[in-house]
Structure 1
Amino acid sequence: MKTNTPNDAAAQFMAQGQELMNAFMSGAHNCRQTQLDLLRSILQKHGHTQFGTDHNFDDVVTYDNYRNQVPLQDYDSLYPYMEKHLQGIPDQLVSGNPCYYATTSGSTGEPKYIPVTTEQRSGAHKGSAMLWSYSLACNSPEAMQGNWVVIVSPAVEGYAPDGTPFGSTSGQYVKDLDPAIKAKYSIPYEVYEIADYDARYYCILLLGLADNNVSLVSSTNPSTLSLLCNKADDMKERLINDIRLGILDKTLVLPEAIRKLVEDRLTPNPERANYLEQCIEQDEEHKLRPIHYWPDLEVVATWTGGNSATFIDKMQAWYGKVNIKDLGYLASEIRGSVPLDLNRGDGVLTIEDNFFEFIRTDEIDNANPKTYLADEIELGSQYYLFFTNKAGLYRYNINDIVQVTGFVGNTPKIVFVQKGKGITNITGEKIYEKQVIGAVKQAEFDCQIQVNFYHCHADLQSNQYKLYAEFEPGYSTQEHAEFADAFELHLQKLNLEYKTKRESLRLQPAAVHSLSFGALEKFKRARIAGGVREAQFKTVPLSMDKNLLASFTVETIYQSLSIKESAA
């Protein structure tokens, strides 16, 4: 049997990419029909499921039927069906059972299990990824010439009660790559499965720094890319020594099989080690930066929309002004857009994979807000996005706000703006209001301390959650400090992604800002002066709005302990 060579794989990839792009563009010029055909197909395939029976899918003939018979959904409303799937009971949300679950943060602290079907994984996930890669190859052929340093999470992080795996869809995609394409990846997939953060980062950095032919670097969040650079600079002597000798630090904690895999990729390379030392000497601040050690780097692939834009400048201080290829509107629940251009954050809606509905942001609080189809939304306007997909999510509210930036044919191009109500997100953790409320309540109980008023601010500049709190008078500074530690600890317990981001140092420990007495009254007066009716006044447990901090007078700041101390 003939072995597929990298050149063969590249030629096959370009041919398949062109075919996919032609079909994608054809659909984009007939948005309404493409969307209605998709909806009809989904309802026919899953009409016999429990959800389909409960909502009379068999009676749906038009979109108006669907809208009238199926209320807008969220994870909580779908969970009773999902729970049965997790136990192995078929035909609940989808025909049969999901083949995989993507996981993401849930409002209760438990992860959300997002169903993935075989059809979706082989079609929507791989197809959209190929369109993205094909457009990259067309826009920057040079990015395809060298090797790629790609950061993903493990494909399998555990198993549902019925034995179905769950984890990261991006990790699954990398794991399933054609071997010839996978050969371009500087980091073998198994490295992403290393449980110890320090060991995982070290192996990624060692293999990446040892490679002098890197043309693309990718991670969903630019803050991760900056963090890796900081770590590389902090450990530069150690890393360069290992590259010089062709070894992997023996003190690292990782499985022997993965250690051997990494060591097999290393050979003594004093020439590369000397080059890296020269990079440090020539840098004005004597830092080790990828702009120097990867001179052939053409593209950084990452998110640029929403909060991610805040981190781009910091990232470019390390990587230089290279081209950026946005990864698109992408979440565990959906791959919602495919960016086709470099240095733009917008992408074309994936109308062949997801049936989209939209509600204007200024109409979302109406008793019966109007929903708009994809070909009805307007340039420049912002909307809450809802979708129906091939894997059991129906009229699903992902609580995201997007903006229309243009059109391909009559299909919109969108960019992610921000999470909707009640959720903040600095670097992927997605904190819910109810999690902040729960962490405060539990910290009050643990410390036997009373908080009269509080507001949690997600601070993009410091990568930190700051709890502004008015305590009942009479407590000591020691008690306030203990409360800060307890709040941090319980926020980690309530949100697994927050805990992960803290462990990996992408977020700083939470800080409690003790406010002067009367803070609640001052806050209320400021809100009313700003136009809020007194009868409608509410406190705001969680926000990213700096304007809400204007009335606060901070007396003392209590920084919680480090992750290892607070979790002890």
Structure 2
Amino acid sequence: MEKESVLAAGGRMPEPAETQLPKGFSASYIIGRLFNRVGIVVKSTIIALVIFFMEVARLPAAFKKGNASGFFKRYMQATGFVLGGESLMARMMYNSKHPREVQLQLLRRVISDNAETKYGKTHGFDKITSVEKYRNSVPVNGYNDLEPYIDEHLKGGADVLVRGKPCYYATTSGSTGRPKFIPVTRTMEKEAHEGSARLWSYTLYKNEPRAYSGNIIVIVSPAVEGYTEAKVPYGSISGQYIKNLNENIRSKYTIPYELYEVKDYEARYYCMLLLGIADEDTSMLSSTNPSTLSLLAEKGEQFKDAILADIRAGSLAASCNVNDEIRALVNAKLKPNPERADYLKSCYENDPEGMLRPIHYWKKLVVIACWTGGNSKVFLNRMKKWYGDVQIKDLGYLASEIRGSVPLNINSSEGMLTIDENFFEFVKEGTNPHHNDNYLMVDQLEVGERYRLYFTNRGGLYRYDINDIVEVKGFVNGVPTIDFVQKGKGVTNITGEKIYEQQMLGVVEKASRNQNLHVLYFQAQARIEESRYDLFCEFEGDNVTEDQLQSFLGDVEIFMKETNLEYRTKRDSLRLAPFQLHVLGENSFEKFRKWRVANGVREAQIKNVPLSDDISLTEPLEIKKTYALA
């Protein structure tokens, strides 16, 4: 099958005035959808027949290999994957021609379903009949605004934010240091999480069918990391996504799910690499963050001799820090393979730098699936020396709180908004978000403009401000395709840790108090290229000792891990390097102020910048000495 582009042409739609929430879809929408479904049935019948004859053609070879007995199962899995994907794709494309109606219907259902909840009663859901009334009745919310309601759910309360109780919580770092617990309902799990994951998988199949020709290595965090007081599971949304994929895809996973739960990251990476490198039939590699894929390749080089010894022997070394159950699981997937060990040894011996790289052990790799938007480009460039110029399929605008887009094309970071899962609102960058008149719907956006994104979903996030800036890259019929640009103000992000100004201020204050130091001025910088944070500090007095400064730096590292669970995870998994401390000379803020004025900033507008990823802001600062953790 040839590669197929599924991105349709389009432009900005005329701006409709209709904002009333209808009681049902229009007759024209329903009739059109019926014809659309008839088309799907006809197309699905043809596809099922084609797949059947393709599988029949493979039977003689299957008999020779002794695995013909799996014919019916393979046929059903392949047919289910393709037919399910075609159905989801057809619905998305049909809805893209009716974005306003689909969005209004979704908002009506969310409000109606949750009208009898505590939040719904407080905000008069039963009286909301239009988008304007919704905006006037429901304020823009951050997590802190919804946290009291979520806490009631966490303790077992029902009908608080959502009708009934959430069935799962996706965890991520919060601005106050306590993790965010993002509610997930059964409807969300089925329609948003499972549906979107399968749709994404099918778009990849349409783009590049060879991606599924071999085995798949997926790297995620555990879907279940613990349980609430009410015995409801919580954990990583990425782990949850892979559990919801089609069985035909899951059967191709090289890494057993249990490996994601190994606490020792060195042992976890080692086992993943051992199984991955032993398997020469890998066609796809997936991890949300490209920094993880660079780290994986670096670890492969670091462990190469031990891994090749284990491949040769066909068993996991006794020195690897895993329990007996994991050891048995890994060993069951291995067999002695001295030929592969010898081949890989010759690869790195003939490498110009003497390195073992993924381009050596994954010769059949077709696609890498990961984020490519925002600052991911830095890590993508770093990956090239390991993986070469492999095709990349972006995972879309994806966070613990939202599955916001589905990319339709390969080697492109833009994705089509998920209008049947989230009710979206946008405020143009530079426009006042405190005026409801400045909020736009999906069909009112313009190509090339940047917007702050807000959304309402079926998990109790109402008019939720995720603090993200996106850019509109194009349209599919009436639905924008977007690309993530950056986080909004007051937060930095290198590899998913999302550190907030409040967190940095609190950590520095706590560390300075702990070491009996007085910080006169500081800046914290996210150093994306170096994958670490640098802290620039001016301290009061001349009698600050070396031990105090080293201990202060150690405390900053410890307290940030305590404050931000994602930072702790990224440090423990080696995706971030530890803080560095740069001690500054006297009058640092005055030097910073003069430099800003000289560069055209009005004096009245100058303020301290405690956290940034703009390294140019440190240009006027005088560094006396730099400290790193041992």
Shorter chain as normaliser: what TM range? over 0.9
Of 459, 471, 479, the match for 1:403: 471
Per the alignment, do residues 286 and 369 of structure 1 end up closer, same or farther by CA in structure 2, a change over 3 Å counting? farther
Letter in 2 for 1:529: A
How far residue 263 of structure 1 moved from its aligned partner, in angstroms, is: 1.1
How far residue 427 of structure 1 moved from its aligned partner, in angstroms, is: 0.6
1:389 equivalent to 2:457? Answer: yes
In structure 1, how many angstroms separate the alpha carbons of the residues matched to 2:244 and 2:468?
A: 29
Residue equivalent to 1:518: 587
Alignment of 1:156-167 (within 5 A): 156-167=224-235
Q: Which has the larger radius of gyration?
A: 2
Per the alignment, do residues 366 and 525 of structure 1 end up closer, same or farther by CA in structure 2, a change over 3 Å counting? farther
Of 337, 340, 349, the match for 2:417: 349
Residue by residue, what CA displacement relative to the aligned partner does 1:41-64 show, whole Å, maximum 9, x if unpaired? 111111111111111111111111
Residue equivalent to 1:565: none
In structure 2, how many angstroms separate the alpha carbons of the residues matched to 1:333 and 1:520?
A: 37
Contact 1:6–1:181 at 8 Å: present in 2 too?
Answer: no
Of 370, 373, 386, the match for 1:318: 386
In structure 1, how many angstroms separate the alpha carbons of the residues matched to 2:72 and 2:549?
A: 64
1:491 equivalent to 2:491? Answer: no
Per the alignment, do residues 379 and 361 of structure 1 end up closer, same or farther by CA in structure 2, a change over 3 Å counting? same
CA-based RMSD of the aligned residues comes to: 1.5
Residue equivalent to 2:86: 18
Of stretches 357-366 and 426-435 in structure 1, the one that deviates more from structure 2 is 357-366
In structure 1, how many angstroms separate the alpha carbons of the residues matched to 2:159 and 2:132?
A: 25
Residue equivalent to 2:257: 189
Residue equivalent to 1:334: 402
How far residue 271 of structure 1 moved from its aligned partner, in angstroms, is: 1.6
Contact 2:433–2:439 at 8 Å: present in 1 too?
Answer: no
How far residue 216 of structure 1 moved from its aligned partner, in angstroms, is: 0.4
In structure 1, how many angstroms separate the alpha carbons of the residues matched to 2:589 and 2:282?
A: 54
Per the alignment, do residues 527 and 279 of structure 1 end up closer, same or farther by CA in structure 2, a change over 3 Å counting? same
Residue equivalent to 1:532: 601
Of 553, 558, 568, the match for 2:622: 553
In structure 2, how many angstroms separate the alpha carbons of the residues matched to 1:28 and 1:234?
A: 48
Secondary structure class of the residue paired with 1:89: coil
Contact 2:197–2:244 at 8 Å: present in 1 too?
Answer: no
Secondary structure class of the residue paired with 1:130: helix
How far residue 478 of structure 1 moved from its aligned partner, in angstroms, is: 2.9
Secondary structure class of the residue paired with 1:212: coil
The count of corresponding residues between Structure 1 and Structure 2 is 561
- TM-score with structure 1 length normalisation? 0.96
In structure 1, how many angstroms separate the alpha carbons of the residues matched to 2:549 and 2:379?
A: 32
How far residue 4 of structure 1 moved from its aligned partner, in angstroms, is: 6.1
How far residue 437 of structure 1 moved from its aligned partner, in angstroms, is: 0.6
In structure 1, how many angstroms separate the alpha carbons of the residues matched to 2:74 and 2:581?
A: 54
How far residue 368 of structure 1 moved from its aligned partner, in angstroms, is: 5.8
How far residue 290 of structure 1 moved from its aligned partner, in angstroms, is: 1.0
Letter in 1 for 2:312: R
In structure 1, how many angstroms separate the alpha carbons of the residues matched to 2:113 and 2:566?
A: 34
In structure 2, how many angstroms separate the alpha carbons of the residues matched to 1:369 and 1:421?
A: 22
Residue equivalent to 2:176: 108
Residue equivalent to 2:4: none
Residue equivalent to 1:564: none
How far residue 137 of structure 1 moved from its aligned partner, in angstroms, is: 0.5
In structure 1, how many angstroms separate the alpha carbons of the residues matched to 2:249 and 2:371?
A: 23
How far residue 71 of structure 1 moved from its aligned partner, in angstroms, is: 0.6
In structure 1, how many angstroms separate the alpha carbons of the residues matched to 2:362 and 2:391?
A: 14
Of 89, 109, 112, the match for 1:41: 109
In structure 2, how many angstroms separate the alpha carbons of the residues matched to 1:101 and 1:27?
A: 29
Residue equivalent to 2:335: 267
Residue equivalent to 1:508: 577
Secondary structure class of the residue paired with 2:375: helix
Residue equivalent to 1:295: 363
Contact 2:198–2:246 at 8 Å: present in 1 too?
Answer: no
How far residue 484 of structure 1 moved from its aligned partner, in angstroms, is: 1.5
Secondary structure class of the residue paired with 1:259: helix
1:375 equivalent to 2:375? Answer: no
1:253 equivalent to 2:253? Answer: no
In structure 1, how many angstroms separate the alpha carbons of the residues matched to 2:302 and 2:222?
A: 25
Contact 2:135–2:436 at 8 Å: present in 1 too?
Answer: no
Letter in 1 for 2:513: F
Residue by residue, what CA displacement relative to the aligned partner does 1:540-559 show, whole Å, maximum 9, x if unpaired? 11000122112111110011
Letter in 2 for 1:455: Q
Letter in 2 for 1:152: V
Residue equivalent to 1:361: 429
In structure 2, how many angstroms separate the alpha carbons of the residues matched to 1:180 and 1:7?
A: 10
How far residue 6 of structure 1 moved from its aligned partner, in angstroms, is: 3.2
How far residue 128 of structure 1 moved from its aligned partner, in angstroms, is: 0.9
1:120 equivalent to 2:174? Answer: no
Contact 1:4–1:180 at 8 Å: present in 2 too?
Answer: no
How far residue 532 of structure 1 moved from its aligned partner, in angstroms, is: 3.4
Residue equivalent to 2:131: 63
Letter in 1 for 2:455: F
Secondary structure class of the residue paired with 1:296: coil
Of 349, 353, 365, the match for 1:281: 349
How far residue 266 of structure 1 moved from its aligned partner, in angstroms, is: 0.9
Contact 1:306–1:416 at 8 Å: present in 2 too?
Answer: yes
Residue equivalent to 2:504: 436
How far residue 181 of structure 1 moved from its aligned partner, in angstroms, is: 2.9
Secondary structure class of the residue paired with 1:465: strand
In structure 2, how many angstroms separate the alpha carbons of the residues matched to 1:440 and 1:560?
A: 16
Letter in 2 for 1:146: G
Per the alignment, do residues 82 and 356 of structure 1 end up closer, same or farther by CA in structure 2, a change over 3 Å counting? same
Of 143, 150, 171, the match for 2:211: 143
In structure 1, how many angstroms separate the alpha carbons of the residues matched to 2:381 and 2:75?
A: 36
1:153 equivalent to 2:221? Answer: yes
Secondary structure class of the residue paired with 1:8: helix
Residue equivalent to 1:566: none
In structure 2, how many angstroms separate the alpha carbons of the residues matched to 1:412 and 1:334?
A: 17
In structure 2, how many angstroms separate the alpha carbons of the residues matched to 1:400 and 1:443?
A: 30
Of stretches 395-404 and 482-491 in structure 1, the one that deviates more from structure 2 is 482-491
Contact 2:194–2:245 at 8 Å: present in 1 too?
Answer: no
How far residue 479 of structure 1 moved from its aligned partner, in angstroms, is: 2.2
Contact 2:534–2:579 at 8 Å: present in 1 too?
Answer: yes
Contact 1:280–1:287 at 8 Å: present in 2 too?
Answer: yes
Residue by residue, what CA displacement relative to the aligned partner does 1:9-66 show, whole Å, maximum 9, x if unpaired? 1221011101110000011111111111111111111111111111111111111111
In structure 1, how many angstroms separate the alpha carbons of the residues matched to 2:142 and 2:408?
A: 30
Letter in 1 for 2:525: H
Residue equivalent to 1:476: 545
Letter in 2 for 1:497: E
Of 610, 613, 627, the match for 1:541: 610
Contact 1:359–1:385 at 8 Å: present in 2 too?
Answer: yes
How far residue 207 of structure 1 moved from its aligned partner, in angstroms, is: 0.5
In structure 2, how many angstroms separate the alpha carbons of the residues matched to 1:201 and 1:7?
A: 34
In structure 2, how many angstroms separate the alpha carbons of the residues matched to 1:80 and 1:17?
A: 39
1:460 equivalent to 2:528? Answer: yes
Which sections of structure 2, spanning at least 5 residues, go unmatched?
Answer: 1-68
Contact 1:470–1:520 at 8 Å: present in 2 too?
Answer: no
Letter in 2 for 1:91: D
How far residue 536 of structure 1 moved from its aligned partner, in angstroms, is: 3.3
Letter in 1 for 2:120: G
Contact 1:242–1:249 at 8 Å: present in 2 too?
Answer: yes
Residue by residue, what CA displacement relative to the aligned partner does 1:327-362 show, whole Å, maximum 9, x if unpaired? 000000000000010100000000000000011120
